[in-house]
Amino acid sequence: MEITNVEEYEPLAKQRLPKMVFDYYASGAEDQWTLKENRNAFSRILGTFGKLWLSIVSFASFPVSPQILIDVSHIDLSTTVLGYKISMPIMISPTAMQKMAHPDGMVYKNRNVVAQLVRRAEKAGFKAIALTVDTPRLGRREADIKNRFNLPPHLTLKNFEGLDLGKMEKTSDSGLASYVAGQIDRSLEWKDIQWLQTITKLPILVKGVMTAEDTRLSIQHGAAGIIVSNHGARQLDYVPATISCLEEVVKAAQGQFLCSLMVESVCGTDVFKALALGASGIFPSYPLIDLRLEGLSCTLWLLKAGGKNVLQMLRDEFELTMALAGCRSLKEITRNHIVTDSDPPRPVSRL
């Protein structure tokens, strides 16, 4: 079967990964309503036609508004994030347990461990620290409970070797949940962002922001960037989709250009919609997360499914969307290109 979009890798990966591993990557918390809503919310963002909006909101997925007779022979996808120029606004989301998909494959109570990890990141040439703030406890992931999730015997928590953090033991439910409960600092507060700034010169990105209030607090406490995220719907179920929270976060940032507003997405039109709502960069949604293996960029699904370079596929889709929408650079993508289900309807022309 020829792969024509990123989501088609998922069923192939399901065939090739052990059930426990696939379920870990693919499932969400509890009823998985938010997991579905992360995708459904994108499909409810429609394209506008010229300057007129549809008066009836459809749940079908529409292309963005086409602007015709514009020279789109050259499309510039480049942008700047945290002062670094990158070739496109599609980046790699942080994730864990990558070796379960392929052999190449949080803040701990012990602050000395955190400091060692930060120094290791600096030495490796990383450009920022992503502080995950929505995991004081692990969400109830029922698939992991049913599967008695644990690391396969040949794998270890490689980043933590030599740091005396123990190991993930088999339990009667989820070994991961039990391990996190014993290691992650539940007392994490805003002041800890400032402590983290004392041990590194790298910019701190706060990952897990979904409200205007937390956006303002992130800026107030010195965060250099914000990642709008509901943890891939793996923490608290029935919270809004990330794309539904994005515009509120953008407005609360009030032009603070140090804030890099990012949201999860899965295809080229999603990228366009997120940028139209004010995002400055996009992370592919979990578990469509990039790994660098043998010179290829590929997702966790791709590790077992094989096929075309996924980041290139997303780039091609996004570039085509821009061309057909008549946008030659990212600055030409505006809020006028889309309508959300919260926007007031406008009449359709009778002509």
Domain contains 10: no
Note the pLDDT tens digit of each residue in 320-347.
999 999 999 999 999 989 988 788 765 5
315 is in an annotated binding site: no
96 is in an annotated binding site: yes
Which residues are tagged catalytic? Answer: 231
More confident residue, 247 or 304: 247
- pLDDT of 104 strictly over 70: no
Quickly list DSSP for 146-173.
Answer: HHT----TT---GGGTTS--------SS
Domain contains 347: no
231 is in an annotated binding site: yes
Predicted local confidence at residue 49, as pLDDT: 44
- pLDDT of 235 strictly over 70: yes
Domain contains 286: yes
Q: What percent of the chain clears pLDDT 90, i.e. is strictly above it?
A: 32
Cis peptide before 203 (omega within 30 of 0): no
pTM of the predicted model over 0.75: yes
Average the pLDDT over each of 100-104, 190-194, 302-306 and give the range with the smallest value: 302-306
For the segment 216-227, the average pLDDT, to the nearest whole number, is: 92
Domain contains 2: no
CATH number, domain at 56? 3.20.20.70
- pLDDT of 306 strictly over 50: no
Average the pLDDT over each of 82-96, 217-231, 334-348 and give the range with the smallest value: 334-348
95 is in an annotated binding site: yes
79 is in an annotated binding site: no
User: Band of the pLDDT at 50, cuts 50, 70, 90?
Assistant: very low
- pLDDT of 84 strictly over 50: yes
Distance, CA of 169 to CA of 150 (rounded, Å): 7
- Domain of residue 188 covers 16-339
- pLDDT of 228 strictly over 70: yes
Domain contains 283: yes
Single-letter amino acid, residue 146: K
For the segment 159-180, the average pLDDT, to the nearest whole number, is: 66
- pLDDT of 101 strictly over 60: no
Note the pLDDT tens digit of each residue in 237-257.
999 999 999 999 999 988 775
Name, of 157-166, 248-257, 296-305, the range with top average pLDDT: 248-257
Single-letter amino acid, residue 38: N
- pLDDT of 263 strictly over 80: no
Distance, CA of 57 to CA of 65 (rounded, Å): 15
Distance, CA of 239 to CA of 16 (rounded, Å): 31
Domain contains 7: no
Domain contains 27: yes
Domain count, the chain: 1
60 is in an annotated binding site: no
Q: 95-116 burial by CB neighbour count: b if 16+ within 10 A, else e?
A: bebbbbbeeeebbbeeeebbeb
Predicted local confidence at residue 295, as pLDDT: 34
Predicted local confidence at residue 203, as pLDDT: 93
Predicted local confidence at residue 348, as pLDDT: 52
74 is in an annotated binding site: no
- pLDDT of 289 strictly over 70: no
Quickly list DSSP for 99-136.
Answer: GGT-S----BS-HHHHHHHHHHHHHTT---EEEE-S-S
User: Band of the pLDDT at 64, cuts 50, 70, 90?
Assistant: low
25 is in an annotated binding site: no
Q: Which H or E run includes 252?
A: helix 242-253
Domain contains 94: yes
HSE-up of 163 (CA within 13 Å, CB side)?
A: 20
337 is in an annotated binding site: no
Distance, CA of 30 to CA of 55 (rounded, Å): 35
Q: Rounded mean pLDDT of the chain? A: 78
Predicted local confidence at residue 43, as pLDDT: 87
User: Band of the pLDDT at 95, cuts 50, 70, 90?
Assistant: low
229 is in an annotated binding site: yes
* Residue 305 CB partners (closer than 8 Å, separation 6+): 3, 9, 12, 13, 16
